[in-house]
Amino acid sequence: MDENVPRAITGGLRLRGIDVLTVQEDGRSGLADPEVLDRATELGRPLFSQDDDLLVEAQRRQTAGIPFAGVIYAHQLHTTIGDCVRDLELIAKAADPADLADRVEFLPL
């Protein structure tokens, strides 16, 4: 989870048994988007974000052919917390992290 994702999304996923790691729990608070995405890639975990700037970084990497673990994005004003939890749970249970590599997935599905 990116740094500014509402706790309700993280909590909702954990109540459904989904393994979630936040930037804060990983001791990476305050890192720039490229570093956060590098860390997610190092861990082999796609990164969920509601930060438009992270989309720019993902697109830069796609254009340059720089591998990354994948980004799942939901616009803050166009996606509810419930939609995020439901769709992220579906992705976590149905997708292999390798399926999300070098891609951007947009929520709601």
Residue-wise pLDDT tens digits, 41-100: 999 999 999 999 999 999 999 999 999 999 999 999 999 999 999 999 999 999 999 999
Q: How far from 15 is each of 11, 83, 84, 85, CA to CA, in Å? A: 6, 15, 14, 10
- Take residue 93 and report the two structure tokens written for it: 């249970």
Give the global pTM. Answer: 0.95
Q: Looking at residues 2-7, what average pLDDT do you find?
A: 94
**pLDDT at position 13, please?**
98
| Residue ranges covered by each domain of the chain | 7-107
